[in-house]
Amino acid sequence: MAIKFGIYRHYKGKDYSVYGQAVLPGTEDGDRKNFIEYLPLWGDMLPTIRPLDEFLGAVQVDEQKVARFQLVREIPEKEAILTLLMYRSRVLPDS
């Protein structure tokens, strides 16, 4: 399942930029694991991954199920990738 590139809001209120998906190849049980790659738009902005089903899943809040992440604004793939590249140029030393 593909996910839209964009800004997502976590149910606790902070925003994240989703810039890709990653796959962990087959494990011993033969299942592939799909992950979402994203950057927090706050704090240290370290690239983060989360299992796709968890990212798209719901959580229980005050006896109500709510989406863990909600799409706030879809962005073009190029913009999402540029966000990641700008981040990397700030924190990674020159080669």
pLDDT, residue 32, reads 74
Residues of the chain with pLDDT under 70: 1, 26-30, 87-95
Alpha carbon 49 to chain centroid, angstroms = 6
Among residues 17, 67, 74, the alpha carbon closest in space to that of 40 is found at 17
Evaluate whether 87 touches 39 at the Cβ level (below 8 Å).
yes
pTM for this model (two decimals): 0.79
What is the per-residue pLDDT for 90? Answer: 63
Residue 41: predicted pLDDT: 87
| Alpha helices for the chain (secondary structure H) | 52-55, 77-91
Residue 20: predicted pLDDT: 85
Q: What is the pLDDT of residue 28?
A: 66
Sign for the CA dihedral angle at 8, 19, 43, 65 comes to: positive
pLDDT value at position 84? 72
Strand partners, 20: 37
Q: Look up residue 69 and give its amino acid.
A: F
